[in-house]
Chains A and B, each alone.
Chain A
Amino acid sequence: MTGANRPWLLALPVLAVVGAFLVAPYLNIVLMSFRVPSTTQAYAPGFTLDNYAKSLFDWLYIEALLDTARLAVIVTVSCLILAYPVAFHLARTTSRWRGVLYSIVLSPLLVGVVIRSFGWIILLANNGVVNQALRSYDLPRMQLMYNEFGVILALVHIFLPFMILPLMGAIQGIDPRLEEAARSLGAGRGTVFRRVILPLSLPGIQSGCILVFILACGSYITPALLGAGRVHTTTTMVVQMLDQFLWPFGAALALTLALFGLIAVWVFTRLSGRAMRGMA
């Protein structure tokens, strides 16, 4: 009954639910992206390539796509720089605080994206905590949100655990005796890091970067809240299209972003794979 005689029964629920409510909707959205937009109904009769032409050749949308990519790259690199020392420390420490520190890394994951963005709004708003502190010291007000800075800062915070965890895994997998051997052969700390630890942790760097880049490209909530209409990413534009009922064009724009993300990851994997072979 539980599948000894008919094991495919176990696969049935997931095949049905994911098939009906993920595969079918995605096929539908692909079809939708070739429809003719209409403001009075979901789409007008006929098929067209115009939606893709507009997504790929209209400067407004190219600019949004490039902005999204630039934002995602800055977020990824910042996460990597902040995460590496923490991951290294966490992977190697024998301190009895290790458990506590590990929960600090995980704790942001338990708090929703909206709430974490909210925390940054309280800190960065024009009359937020930081600016009020500045004013009490008679320092000039700083524009910390409603711009890219605020969006980037909040996104780095939100995705940092996704960088720390794979890095930590990779560094834990490096045999500490390799470092000791290099040290005993006369290598300095810097050299050991550059020649031993860094090359061996590259797989962790690779998976962390891919994860954060993809998540940053697809993020909507944080740019919407901290950018408040002044920072345009492809995702905020897609949601705008939905509000204006231009569904086929919104679909094409969203799929262009997804495709772009996939291509970027593919290129990155090829390049970093070559770097890994070169360094190993």
Chain B
Amino acid sequence: MNDRVTSGRLALGCAIALVYIFLLLPIVIVVAASFNAGQGLKFPPDGFSLRWYVAFFTSEPFMDSLRLSLAVAVVATVASGVIGTTAALYYVRHAGRWREVFRIYVLAPLLLPEILTAIALLFFYYQIGLGTRTVVGLYIGHIVVCIPFVFLQVTAALYNLPPSTEEAARSLGAAPGVVFRRITLPLIKPGVINGALFAFIISFDNVSISLLLKGIGTTTLPMQVFDYLRWGFDPTTAAASTVSILMTLGAVVLVDRLVGLRTVRF
């Protein structure tokens, strides 16, 4: 009886370990492929080389798309950071009768399927004459899908901040602007930064929106990888993917150093 229980637990332990391996496997494989010396994929690999990184960093299209991706992600982070934070302040401190409607409204970009949102935006841009000749539409699309992530993080931070802190400052004579700058903002800063981190990662990795809204002749890094993958295998895409993974990882480590990620809520 006892034997059966132990062997059962062992089997369960192995199953759990396998799921963890399953979760990491494709990511590890991409990183490994980027260091492979050979032209095609080989198993076992041909040896270690950085030639695909050289190819990536000297490739005009890849560098252009990396620059555009970073620019879009930074703009989307800042803009959705401001919009999401003000929305959270309104929702937690001021919203009245319509607060639940307001919440759904702000979360709508997250609740609706992203590819459908991209299609709707594409049609809309053509209807209003914006089209995809410029990348303005791409920037706007990224801002819209990032807003809910900032909103959720800042809302959580605001709920942990009792309104009495702000009331105390106000009753001691601080003007509303001063209360916000000196009391509210410093205390919800971790929430705002975590929200910004989410926004950055969501925008930097986004494909569905970029797929349909990229301007003519311009493309983002994940889109470039997507296009390369559709027309065959090129190890440069593995190097591009690894650089992209390192960039998101860098953002996470940076935020962890700044505010600590334990405050993140999922």
The smallest beta-carbon distance between B59 and chain A, in angstroms, is: 17
Q: Which of A18, A117, A214 contacts B147 (CB 8 A)?
A: A18
- The 8 Å CB contact of B87, one of A10, A83, A121, is A10
A205 within 8 A of B: no
Interface size grouping (class) on chain A: 35 or more
Closest-by-CB residue of B relative to A42 is B126
Bound-state CA distance A125–B109 (Å) is: 34
Contact of A107 among B23, B113, B151 (CB under 8 A): B23
- Chain B neighbourhood of A11, CB < 8 A: 86-87, 90, 94-95, 102
- Partner of B248 from the list A18, A22, A111, A120 (CB cut-off 8 Å) is A111
Is A73 engaged at the interface, CB distance under 8 Å to the other chain?
A: no
Interchain CB contact under 8 A, A24 and B124: yes
Distance between Cα atoms of A125 and B42 in the complex (Å):
12
A210 to chain B, nearest CB (A): 11
CB neighbours (8 Å) of B114 from chain A are: 218
Interface residues of B in 29-86 (CB under 8 A from A): 29-30, 33, 40-43, 82-84, 86
Residue of B nearest to A2 (CB): B180
Residue of A11, A105, A133, A238 with highest tally of chain B CB at under 10 A: A11
Q: Is A21 touching B141 in the complex (CB atoms < 8 A)?
A: yes
**Interchain CB contact (< 8 A) of A235 among B30, B89, B109, B115:** B115
Interface positions, chain B 110-153, Cβ under 8 Å from A, are: 112-117, 119-124, 126-127, 140-141, 143-144, 147, 151
Tell whether, in the assembled complex, residue B30 and residue A119 are in contact, meaning their CB atoms are under 8 Å apart.
yes
Contacts of B229 on A, CB cut-off 8 Å?
Answer: 114, 117-118, 121, 225
| B interface SS class | helix
A251-B123 in contact (CB<8A): yes
Pair A28/B120 contact, Cβ less than 8 Å: yes
Residues A10 and B90 in contact, CB atoms below 8 Å apart: yes
Q: Does A189 interact with chain B (Cβ within 8 Å)?
A: yes
Given A28-B123, A115-B241, A242-B119; A122-B23 close (CB under 8 Å): no
Give 12 new A-B contacts, CB below 8 A, not counting A13-B86, A128-B41, A133-B43. Answer: A5-B176, A11-B94, A14-B86, A14-B87, A21-B124, A24-B124, A25-B124, A32-B123, A110-B201, A111-B245, A218-B116, A220-B211
Q: List 17 A-B contacts (CB under 8 A).
A: A1-B177, A4-B176, A10-B87, A13-B82, A21-B121, A26-B117, A86-B16, A101-B20, A105-B23, A118-B26, A119-B26, A120-B26, A132-B43, A160-B23, A189-B5, A235-B115, A251-B123
- Which 3 A-B residue pairs are closest in the complex by CB-CB distance? A119-B26, A112-B205, A218-B113
Interface residues of B (CB under 8 A from A): 5, 12, 15-16, 19-20, 22-30, 33, 40-43, 82-84, 86-87, 89-90, 93-95, 102, 105-106, 108-109, 112-117, 119-124, 126-127, 140-141, 143-144, 147, 151, 176-177, 179-180, 201, 204-208, 211-212, 222, 225-226, 229-230, 233, 237-238, 241, 244-245, 248-249, 252, 266
